[in-house]
Structure 1
Amino acid sequence: MRAVVVERYGVPPVVKEVPEPEVAAGGVVLAVEATGLCRSDWHGWMGHDPDIVLPHVPGHELAGTIAAIGDGVEGWQVGDRVTTPFICACGTCEQCLSGNQQVCPNQLQPGFNYWGSFAEYVAVPYAAVNLVRLPDVLDFGTAAGLGCRFATSFRAIRQVGRVGAGERVVIFGCGGVGLSAVMIAAALGAEVIAVDTNPDALKLAHEYGASHTLQASSSTVDQIRDLGGAHVTMDALGSGDIVQQALHALRPRGRHLQVGLLPSGVQLDVGRLIGQELEWRGSHGMPAHAYPGMLELVASGNLKPADLISRTITLDETPVALAALSHGTPAGVTVIRPTG
């Protein structure tokens, strides 16, 4: 099969022929119809993830059709249209049995623990707990974006952040995760403030429901406070500077959601956390069993993740697009069509 292969960290990958993945017992192999280009893929390419072993194929947001089924897999057929969370949980540990597959200690992540979906085929382990059947009305490009950015934002905003109607929510970073969060928070009736350096991203944020858009600057916190301060803030990019701004923009007893990765760590003003009774909440993906509620809102038109897709590229265009993330995140979501 053709795949995007990283041979050296930080050096643009190459598109080449590699062996197709073998189907394992309890798992399946998917023909990849669409896969998203995500900043997490950039972190992996830069060498920020210790689980990656070179040479490596990135890609963790995916949708496709089942091409092969391993021993012991029931209820699925070759040709079924599916997606999967980027966290492939084992299904048998304590966390999985409690419904918290997103923090499974035995998880395997395509594009990190093993070769991912920037390819014509990808393996999915533990099919019984990780496959999500796609409605016929949902196209593969939209479905691919659900597996990481949209699903992550959905659970972060709705469940972890407990965002309610009338609350003021500030989203820092309007890439795929941030724009998804803007759309979801607005659909829940929140007053959304979007912050970014990219005017095009802020324009999209306004289209997706942001009541206010702020060009990131040294006065961002003061501007948010002038609007009344935030009940909830979210770092959708992963920046120590953003974290400090987000915490200082919160009202007393506010909640901060950390979704963006922080490979260099961060220092917190713990005194402010204590004195203002602030919450710091991490949020990591969403388990497969929680997808039906999200898919119902998509099918009803209350959520429109398809609107987030700003461009579609081929495998051959992917190395340049991945490397370009070093210079900033383009507005909207980029979808790769491996067979396009």
Structure 2
Amino acid sequence: MKAVVFENFSAPPSIQKLPDPAPETHGVVVKVMANGVCRSDWHGWMGHDPGIRLPHVPGHELAGVVEAVGKDVKQWRVGDRVTVPFVGGCGACPECHSGNQQVCESQFQPGFTHWGSFAEYVGIHYADVNLVALPETLDFATAASLGCRFVTSFRAVVDQGRTAAGQWVAVHGCGGVGLSAVMIANAVGANVVAVDISEEALHLARQVGAVATVNAANVANVAEAVIEITCGGAHVSLDALGHPTTCFNSISNLRKRGRHVQVGLMLADHSTPAIPMSKVIADELEILGSHGMQAHRYDAMLALIESGKLSPERLIGRRITLEQSIGALMNMDKFEGAGVTVVTEF
């Protein structure tokens, strides 16, 4: 198979020919039809994930067609159209038995724990627990764009943030994760304030449902700006970027008993950010994490997509080739352009 491979962290990857994967007895091989380019992939390429072993194929936002099936798989057949959460569960540990495969004690992540989907084929473990059937109405590029950013935002807004109609939601960072969160919060009836330093990103945020925006490059105090707009602070606030500044601002702009959800990864030098703990205590704030979403929760999200209340295809920016994905991956930290970049030609 053709795949993007990096042999050293932070060194330019290359296109290589590799052996096709074979399915585990409990897994499948998926022919990749579309693959999202995500900032998490950039973190992996930079060496921020200690679990990656070189050489490595990145990629965890995928959609495709089942190509081969392990002998113990019961629910899937060759030709099925599928996607998969970027965090997969083993199906046997206490967390999986409680329905929380996203924090499985033996979790796997394509593109991190094993070779991923910047390739023509990818192996997926424990298929009966983790695969998600795609509606025929959902194209592969849109399905791939759901992979990490959209589903993580859905869980952050709906399950972790417990966002209700009429509440104020602040979203800090309007890349793929943040724009997804804006759209989802709007769909469930919340009023959204989007925060970013890019007018292009803020313009797109308004298009997908933000009722107000704050350009963090142009205001002296982001938290105060959000508190003023929301007449007292956000009920729910998300750091969709993963930076000490956006994390601090997200907590600081909450009203009493508000909920902060950390969605953006905080790795390397950013792994231990300062937070306003005195406010957390005095205002009885909640600080929550959001780490992917279980396969069994996709039905709720897909129902909103099929009804037209969510339109993730509007968040797709560029559609590129596998060869072009190398440059896109290496430049993720430059935040060039708006929307989600998806590989659609292999």
Give the TM-score normalised by the residue count of structure 1. Answer: 0.98
From 327, 332, 336, the equivalent of 2:339 is 332
Partner Cα separation in structure 2 for residue 174 and residue 330 of structure 1: 11
**Partner of 1:283 in structure 2?**
290
Partner Cα separation in structure 2 for residue 286 and residue 130 of structure 1: 10
**Partner of 1:116 in structure 2?**
116
Structure 1 vs Structure 2 CA RMSD: 1.0
**Partner of 1:195 in structure 2?**
195
SS at match of 1:272: helix
CA deviations 1:72-116 (Å, max 9, x no partner) are 111211111000100111011101011011100101100000000
Checking the alignment, whether the CA contact within 8 Å between 1:119 and 1:338 is kept in structure 2 is no
Greater shift, 3-12 or 60-69, is seen at 3-12
Residues 38-117 of structure 1: matches in 2 within 5 Å?
38-117=38-117
From 243, 255, 259, the equivalent of 2:259 is 255
Deviating beyond 2 angstroms after TM superposition, the runs of 4 or more aligned structure 1 residues are none
Partner Cα separation in structure 1 for residue 69 and residue 198 of structure 2: 44
CA deviations 1:310-340 (Å, max 9, x no partner) are 110011001111111122253100101242x
CA deviations 1:242-263 (Å, max 9, x no partner) are 1111111111111100010111
Partner Cα separation in structure 2 for residue 120 and residue 224 of structure 1: 44
Aligned amino acid, residue 179 of structure 1: L
Checking the alignment, whether the CA contact within 8 Å between 2:194 and 2:213 is kept in structure 1 is yes
Partner Cα separation in structure 1 for residue 245 and residue 285 of structure 2: 18
Structure 1 stretches of 5 or more lacking a match?
none
Distance 1:155 1:329, change over 3 A: farther
**Partner of 2:133 in structure 1?**
133
Aligned amino acid, residue 157 of structure 1: V
Aligned amino acid, residue 49 of structure 2: D
Partner Cα separation in structure 2 for residue 99 and residue 338 of structure 1: 35
Partner Cα separation in structure 2 for residue 116 and residue 215 of structure 1: 36
Checking the alignment, whether the CA contact within 8 Å between 1:32 and 1:338 is kept in structure 2 is no
Aligned amino acid, residue 96 of structure 2: C
Aligned amino acid, residue 76 of structure 1: W
SS at match of 1:183: helix
SS at match of 1:9: coil
Partner Cα separation in structure 2 for residue 51 and residue 244 of structure 1: 28
Aligned amino acid, residue 335 of structure 1: V
From 301, 310, 324, the equivalent of 2:308 is 301
Residues 220-231 of structure 1: matches in 2 within 5 Å?
220-227=222-229, 228=231, 229-231=233-235
Shift of 1:269: 2.3
Structure 2 stretches of 5 or more lacking a match?
none
Aligned amino acid, residue 256 of structure 1: H
**Partner of 1:245 in structure 2?**
249
Aligned amino acid, residue 293 of structure 1: A
Greater shift, 20-29 or 6-15, is seen at 6-15
Checking the alignment, whether the CA contact within 8 Å between 1:95 and 1:101 is kept in structure 2 is yes
Checking the alignment, whether the CA contact within 8 Å between 1:32 and 1:62 is kept in structure 2 is yes
Shift of 1:44: 0.5
SS at match of 1:200: helix
Partner Cα separation in structure 2 for residue 72 and residue 292 of structure 1: 24
Shift of 1:38: 0.5
Aligned amino acid, residue 6 of structure 1: F
Greater shift, 149-158 or 9-18, is seen at 9-18
Aligned amino acid, residue 176 of structure 1: G
Give the TM-score normalised by the residue count of structure 2. Answer: 0.96
Partner Cα separation in structure 1 for residue 30 and residue 137 of structure 2: 19
